[in-house]
């Protein structure tokens, strides 16, 4: 096998690229690369060793290949996905499981042997006419307990370019770890493309995750959520690993909230897509460590977290100069930014939904030539940019980047926040009574309405525990138990909060302004440091009116009136009781091995609500 592996690599890679690979000294890595080089049969293979020259070669290939085009602002490029490849394909994203392994009905699975057979058949000769790029990355900071080395095989220079911006270089990490490296493997092909350089065999789009062998397969897709393997796809691999080792992989931002006397208190926060996670991580006056995925480990009595990434693959809809000043500035100035599926004008300027200024009358977008009023084949009007349109950038171009981004020790977490789209139940901000109460009633009970970030109907309320249901590779009951156990033995675990930016009145009007979240986070920071008190309600601890009145004046220079407080923070008893019933029914009927403490905590909350209603 070694000889055959070497023969394949020497023949396909050529002397220079073969030598880059041999520098690593990892036979398992060589075998993996050789297998898929032989299977995909690309015209040529390029191995990237993270040198400026190698990275430049792949970035320039995005223009040569037509996967990206240059825009008017220096360093900015635009990429388009197929009109039918605009979100995570949940239907065809499956965890591959061996016989007798059951992850439950809420996790999409496929028989491992059948899935591998199918995917390898699809991959056979799929890279003919393409160049294959072999790239090395590291999830988490390098040279750290958090480090997970990764190898990405892709015939899409656009995918590789995104990962250069999103992840830390990993070539030297592979050399450092040598044959002992426990690495994740990713293989992707965009498949056959048309004249617009977009994937056309969408019916054969497949995204398979094999935790048994730490491999992610992705084929016939370009949309980043399906093709950028190290992002949400890698979460399934790391969730499977950390479940065996006692740490956490979470769909969470990491940010520093700045308090008195130059104090910085670090929080994580879990929000489903299009629920304000990136805008929260980018709050002006605070600092961002990460906006999407975090590794959490216990160190003594502390919980420490790192940003798995070093960049941002963000939803661009709604970003404007008033609400998102830091991101707005980064997206308007020269620097390396990849835009996807937004409108480009003849002058190579761009427009997206919610951007400052008038929507241009004409341009070019994910549907091809575009004009106001254009409709698709089903008669649906096509907006100037897709609601799930994205941008990719390296966090180092942001002026609010936290200096501890690459700290190999991570940052100490003092608060954990859960929030989703909820129009009628949760108050704007509320602290749980303790760790277990927080994990159960804020994390495991997190509901949110569906959005354009996934394919399918929008506006459907779904249970999404810890905002992580789409990314699990272990049974949900086991995942909830893992979260409960993680902090239950700590004397002073991080405080847990629920937050809601989407509360409405009976007429459908929002009860919060977008900027109010600045106040909620300042209150949570002061709670984490024991500087403010609370009012205890049946569902948790809410702020006192006087504290919020002071904070609204200090933070936003606004008056905050009692009437608004009463509307926002009243306990909505019927809605909370209905929520408990919904969550309980789903967990009892659709999820196995849910820890009994979950139902005990929910029942206790129900009793408190009923007692409050009687009073």
**222-246 pLDDT, tens digit each:** 999 999 999 999 999 999 999 999 9
Burial of 110 from C-beta contacts in 10 A (0-12 / 13-18 / 19+): buried
| Beta-carbon count within 10 A of 391 CB | 22
Question: What pLDDT shows up at residue 106?
Answer: 86
Question: What pLDDT shows up at residue 276?
Answer: 85
Question: What pLDDT shows up at residue 580?
Answer: 97
**Torsional class of 21: left (φ above 0), alpha (ψ -120 to 50), beta (otherwise):** alpha
Phi/psi of residue 263, nearest 5 degrees: -75, 140
What is the longest distance spanned by two Cα atoms in the chain? 80
pLDDT, one tens digit per residue, over 178-225 is 999 999 999 999 999 999 999 999 999 999 999 999 999 999 999 999
pTM of the model: 0.94
pLDDT, one tens digit per residue, over 78-91 is 999 999 999 889 89
With a cut of 60, say whether residue 532 has pLDDT above it: yes
Q: List the Cα angle 298/302/303 in 5-degree steps.
A: 55
The closest of 584, 163, 82 to 171, measured between CA atoms, is 163
With a cut of 70, say whether residue 391 has pLDDT above it: yes
Question: What pLDDT shows up at residue 451?
Answer: 57
The closest of 443, 463, 444, 613 to 538, measured between CA atoms, is 613
Helix, strand or coil, per DSSP, at residue 226 = helix
pLDDT, one tens digit per residue, over 243-267 is 999 999 999 999 999 999 999 999 9
Distance CA 458, CA 415 (A): 31
Confidence of residue 453 (pLDDT cuts 50, 70, 90): low
Euclidean distance between the first and final Cα of the chain, in Å? 75
Question: What pLDDT shows up at residue 528?
Answer: 98
Question: What pLDDT shows up at residue 449?
Answer: 73
With a cut of 60, say whether residue 119 has pLDDT above it: yes
- The residue that leads in pLDDT, 90 or 331, is 331
For the chain, domains (ranges, CATH) are 2-67+92-245 (3.40.449.10), 248-312+403-614 (3.90.228.20), 314-393 (2.170.8.10)
- Taking residues 320-349, report their average pLDDT: 95
- Taking residues 278-298, report their average pLDDT: 94
447, 582 Cβ separation under 8 angstroms: yes
Distance CA 545, CA 568 (A): 11
How far from 125 is each of 37, 132, 207, 215, CA to CA, in Å? Answer: 9, 12, 18, 19
Residues tagged active-site: 275
Who contacts 159 (Cβ-Cβ below 8 Å, separation ≥6)? 152, 188, 190, 222, 224, 227, 228, 229
155, 42 Cβ separation under 8 angstroms: yes
Question: What pLDDT shows up at residue 67?
Answer: 97
Burial of 469 from C-beta contacts in 10 A (0-12 / 13-18 / 19+): middle
Question: What pLDDT shows up at residue 232?
Answer: 93
Q: Is the dihedral of CA 287, 292, 296, 302 positive or negative?
A: positive
Q: Tokens 């690993």, residue?
A: 241
476, 106 Cβ separation under 8 angstroms: yes
Q: List the Cα angle 380/382/383 in 5-degree steps.
A: 135
- Taking residues 560-585, report their average pLDDT: 97
Q: What is the CA radius of gyration of the chain?
A: 24
The closest of 523, 524, 511 to 425, measured between CA atoms, is 511
With a cut of 60, say whether residue 301 has pLDDT above it: yes
Confidence of residue 461 (pLDDT cuts 50, 70, 90): confident
Q: Is the dihedral of CA 328, 330, 334, 340 positive or negative?
A: negative
Q: What is the mean pLDDT of the chain?
A: 95
Confidence of residue 425 (pLDDT cuts 50, 70, 90): very high
With a cut of 80, say whether residue 456 has pLDDT above it: no
pLDDT, one tens digit per residue, over 132-169 is 999 999 999 999 999 999 999 999 999 999 999 999 99
Distance CA 284, CA 215 (A): 38
Question: What pLDDT shows up at residue 458?
Answer: 58
Confidence of residue 452 (pLDDT cuts 50, 70, 90): low
DSSP state of 529: T
């Amino acid at each position: 096998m070694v000889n055959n592996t070497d023969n394949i690599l020497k023949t396909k890679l050529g002397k220079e690229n073969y030598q880059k690979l041999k520098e690593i000294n990892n036979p398992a890595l060589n075998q993996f690369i050789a297998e898929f080089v032989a299977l995909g049969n690309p015209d040529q293979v390029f191995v990237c060793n993270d040198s400026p020259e190698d990275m430049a070669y792949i970035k320039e290939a995005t223009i040569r290949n037509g996967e990206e085009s240059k825009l008017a602002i220096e360093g900015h490029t635009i990429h388009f996905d197929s009109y039918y490849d605009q979100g995570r394909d949940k239907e065809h994203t499956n965890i591959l499981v061996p016989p007798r392994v059951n992850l439950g009905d809420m996790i999409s699975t496929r028989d491992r042997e059948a899935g591998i057979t199918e995917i390898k058949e699809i991959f056979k000769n799929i890279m003919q006419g393409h160049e294959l790029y072999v790239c090395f990355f590291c999830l988490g900071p390098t040279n750290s307990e958090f480090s997970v080395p990764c190898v990405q095989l892709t015939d899409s220079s656009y995918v590789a370019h995104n990962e250069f911006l999103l992840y830390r270089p990993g070539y030297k990490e592979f050399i450092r770890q040598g044959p002992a490296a426990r690495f994740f493997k990713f293989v992707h092909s965009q498949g056959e493309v048309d004249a617009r350089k977009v994937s056309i065999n969408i019916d054969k789009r497949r995204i398979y995750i094999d935790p048994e062998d730490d491999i992610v397969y992705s084929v016939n897709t370009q949309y980043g959520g399906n093709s950028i393997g190290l992002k949400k796809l890698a979460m399934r691999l790391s969730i499977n690993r950390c479940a065996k080792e006692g740490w956490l992989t979470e769909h969470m931002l990491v940010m520093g909230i700045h308090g008195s006397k130059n104090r910085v208190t670090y929080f994580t926060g879990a929000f489903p897509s299009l629920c304000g996670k990136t805008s929260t991580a980018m709050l002006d006056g605070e600092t961002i460590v990460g906006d999407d995925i975090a590794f959490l480990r216990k160190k003594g009595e502390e919980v420490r977290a790192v940003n798995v990434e070093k960049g941002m693959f963000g939803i661009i809809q709604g970003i404007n100069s008033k609400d998102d000043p830091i991101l707005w500035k980064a997206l308007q100035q020269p620097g390396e930014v990849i835009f996807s599926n937004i409108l480009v004008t003849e002058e190579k300027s761009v427009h997206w939904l919610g951007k400052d200024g008038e929507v241009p009358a004409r341009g070019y977008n994910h549907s091809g030539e575009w004009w106001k009023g254009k409709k698709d084949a089903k008669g649906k009007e096509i907006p100037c940019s897709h609601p799930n349109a994205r941008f990719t950038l390296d966090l180092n171009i942001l002026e609010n980047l936290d200096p501890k981004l690459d700290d190999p020790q991570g940052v100490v977490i003092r608060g954990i926040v859960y929030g989703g789209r909820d129009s009628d139940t949760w108050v704007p901000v509320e602290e749980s009574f303790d760790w277990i109460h927080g994990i159960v009633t804020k994390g495991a009970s997190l509901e949110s309405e569906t959005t354009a970030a996934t394919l399918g109907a929008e506006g459907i309320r779904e249970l999404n525990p810890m905002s992580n249901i789409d990314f699990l590779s272990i049974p949900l009951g086991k995942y909830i138990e893992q979260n409960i156990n993680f902090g239950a033995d700590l004397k002073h675990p991080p405080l847990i909060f629920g937050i809601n930016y989407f509360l409405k009145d009976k007429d459908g009007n929002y009860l919060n302004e977008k900027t109010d979240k600045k106040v909620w986070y300042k209150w949570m920071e002061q709670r984490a440091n024991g500087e403010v008190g609370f009012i205890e309600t049946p569902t948790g601890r809410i702020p006192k009116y006087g504290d919020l009145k002071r904070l609204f004046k200090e933070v936003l220079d606004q008056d905050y009136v009692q009437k608004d407080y009463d509307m926002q923070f009243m306990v909505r008893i019927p809605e909370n009781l209905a929520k408990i019933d919904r969550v309980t029914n789903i967990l009892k009927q659709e999820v196995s091995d849910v820890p009994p403490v979950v139902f005990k905590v929910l029942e206790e909350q129900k009793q408190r609500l009923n007692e409050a209603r009687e009073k």
